[in-house]
Structure 1
């Protein structure tokens, strides 16, 4: 695998635990204990708990652009990444692929513009802006799927419908099954969290905990909502009143 473990890098010194993002429990646990990765690793958690901060730092330390793209990508519009990437190191298997792609739905529009402005002269690629958001997202994976390496995706469900999420799982599964790729995924989607064979880490104020899909708070809450949406919606109305 491209990455087997993430751990703190103590040269020239450890990251201060009273400085953001080390103040977030999942980030602090990652620094204190390290984290072993599998062929497919999924991070699930609420907004603001630190899952995107973790996957972003891994992508940057691997050599990917902060706003998406492959290793060596220089695309950047407004730097907002944390300093976490400077305080971690990645353990790699000998001979493992060193290429990969970082996809974050919130910045893919700008990244596709960057690709149009800096075309690959030797290999024409799809005109991503001429497709819908979700279609362009899947087209990008299809276009790059034959290249070995690490795939890091940050909340891709924001670009995808239900069927699009299933299609993405199928594409990524084929990459993993071929033995040429590894997937790290951050998501709010119970569909993407159900990635076959994935190791799931639930991320929250407790830190990181390995959790079975059916035991995720995300899955339990969405099941409950689908069974009785009026209970949740009535509660919101009552608060407004």
Structure 2
């Protein structure tokens, strides 16, 4: 059973603009933030795409933190911090939640995944009984390749009826794994999952039951074929020789 706009976990966020002293300073000067007032989410999958430096990871981190996740990733039960580098944006966001509460959730981010894997091992050394790693496939995330450990979390840890926030999940995945990820997303959506995903991958953002926000001067709802990522990849693959001629002079 898929979530609908009536029972989704997170309906939207609102930026408390009147409490922000200046939009000339980070992170409020980022294109994703400076023109933001209200951002509505799809009940199943919301994609946030755009060039580097637009603020995708910053806004995703703020959403996750404001919702109660650890800024460096994991479930809402994780509280580790290798370096407190998250912005103050989370303090200026109002969460508009749905009538239904998620039973689970996870914030997966590429840049701090190593810290998450390390924390799991450290916690398992300190406690007896069932191991945390058992719910991640039973094999140390450090003893797998980066891509295998990413996919292991996605396959084993996500447990249904939850809000899952993913920051560039394609970072460690091959194109074939990214296609498998689409299949897995579809399976999970039918188990009342809601996803918010920042990505550069034209493969992952092709998932149809979704909305795509492209960040330029702000958030713009964009058709898949009209995203910069799709247009660039399509042009390159269909005109490789000409593109390389232009790029290499």
For the criterion TM > 0.5, the same-fold answer is yes
**Are 2:14 and 2:38, in contact at CA under 8 Å, matched by a contact in 1?**
yes
Which of 91, 99, 103 aligns to 1:94? It is 99
Matched with 1:202 is 214
Which stretch of the first structure deviates more once superposed, 18-27 or 40-49?
Answer: 18-27
**Are 1:7 and 1:90, in contact at CA under 8 Å, matched by a contact in 2?**
yes
Q: Deviations over 1:196-231 (max 9, x none)?
A: 211000112x21100010111111111111112233
> Could you say what secondary structure the match of 2:35 adopts?
helix
Q: State whether structure 2 residue 228 is matched by structure 1 residue 217.
A: yes
Q: CA RMSD in A?
A: 1.8
Distance change in 2, residues 1:6/1:98 (3 Å): farther
* Aligned length in residues: 233
What's the offset of the Cα at 1:95?
3.2
What's the offset of the Cα at 1:184?
0.3
**Are 2:104 and 2:159, in contact at CA under 8 Å, matched by a contact in 1?**
no
**Are 1:15 and 1:87, in contact at CA under 8 Å, matched by a contact in 2?**
no
Which of 202, 216, 238 aligns to 1:227? It is 238
Which stretch of the first structure deviates more once superposed, 222-231 or 53-62?
Answer: 222-231
Which stretch of the first structure deviates more once superposed, 138-147 or 108-117?
Answer: 138-147
Which stretch of the first structure deviates more once superposed, 88-97 or 141-150?
Answer: 141-150
**Are 2:106 and 2:158, in contact at CA under 8 Å, matched by a contact in 1?**
no
Trace 1:117-136 onto structure 2 (pairs within 5 A).
117-119=122-124, 121-123=129-131, 124-125=133-134, 126=138, 127-136=140-149
Q: State whether structure 2 residue 31 is matched by structure 1 residue 20.
A: no
Distance in 1 (alpha carbons) for counterparts of 2:103 and 2:190 = 18
Q: Deviations over 1:14-47 (max 9, x none)?
A: 45322211112221222xx211111210011111
Matched with 1:193 is 205
Q: Deviations over 1:51-103 (max 9, x none)?
A: 11111110111111111101131122112211111100111112321641011
What's the offset of the Cα at 1:10?
6.4
Distance in 2 (alpha carbons) for counterparts of 1:93 and 1:185 = 19
> Could you say what secondary structure the match of 2:94 adopts?
strand
Distance in 1 (alpha carbons) for counterparts of 2:80 and 2:9 = 23
> Could you say what secondary structure the match of 2:203 adopts?
helix
What's the offset of the Cα at 1:150?
0.8
Distance in 2 (alpha carbons) for counterparts of 1:15 and 1:136 = 41
Provide TM-score, normalisation by structure 1. 0.90
Matched with 1:236 is 247
Distance in 2 (alpha carbons) for counterparts of 1:19 and 1:111 = 30
Q: State whether structure 2 residue 40 is matched by structure 1 residue 36.
A: yes
Distance in 2 (alpha carbons) for counterparts of 1:10 and 1:66 = 22
Unaligned runs of 5+ in 2: 1-7
**Are 2:105 and 2:158, in contact at CA under 8 Å, matched by a contact in 1?**
no
